[in-house]
Amino acid sequence: MFIKEKYRIRHNLLGLFYDKYFEGNSPNADVYDTSLTFSQLEEISGLSTEKLIKTIDYLKEAEELYVEEMDYIDLYLITLKGRAAYHDEKYLYNGKKAFLNDTYDVIKTLSAIVLLVIAIITFIQNSIDIKKNKKEIESLKIEINQIKASKK
């Protein structure tokens, strides 16, 4: 299925945080063990800075990531909501849903166009048939009038 890139990026980025959280989570863990810095994210995600910033901003707004500042460095951590979103494949589902909605819209538009073309063709065909029927009626009237005239 064709999932838009933004949905795949969100899911994959949450996956990086999800893995880091479980990799570093232990009773003695601190925030450094379960978080990633922006430079680490750039390195392991392979995303451009612009895409990474947009995605992080979106995930922060959705409360699936939060930022902890320590020693003048921003540390990004996944929230419980973010872990649930990753586990439930929320963004893959949303991407599939968006694809199906887009496909449905295209099909709706195409079907409306096809129905319009059929209506126009039917209208033209009916107009031609009406003209043909009128000519036949007129010729029959002439024949009837000739028959009436010949009987008199």
Residue 14 lies in a domain: yes
- 83 neighbors 66 (Cβ within 8 angstroms): no
Give me the residue label for tokens 């009237």: 141
Per-residue model confidence as pLDDT tens for the chain (152 residues): 689 999 999 999 999 999 999 887 777 777 778 889 999 999 999 999 999 999 999 999 999 999 988 888 899 999 999 999 999 999 999 999 999 999 999 999 999 999 999 999 999 999 999 999 999 999 999 988 888 888 87
Look up residue 150 and give its two tokens.
């010949």
Residue 106 lies in a domain: no
Residue 21 lies in a domain: yes
Q: Which residues pair with 138 in a beta bridge?
A: none
Residue 44 lies in a domain: yes
Residue 98 lies in a domain: no
- 15 neighbors 60 (Cβ within 8 angstroms): no
Which range of residues forms the domain containing residue 67?
A: 5-89
Residue 16 lies in a domain: yes
Number of domains in the chain: 1
CATH number for the domain harbouring residue 56: 1.10.10.10
Residue 71 lies in a domain: yes
pTM of the model: 0.74
Residue 77 lies in a domain: yes
- The edge-to-edge listing of strands for the beta sheet with 36-37 is 36-37, 73-78, 65-70
Nearest CA to 8 out of 136, 95, 97 is that of: 95
Question: Would the CA dihedral through 26, 32, 13, 91 be positive or negative?
Answer: positive
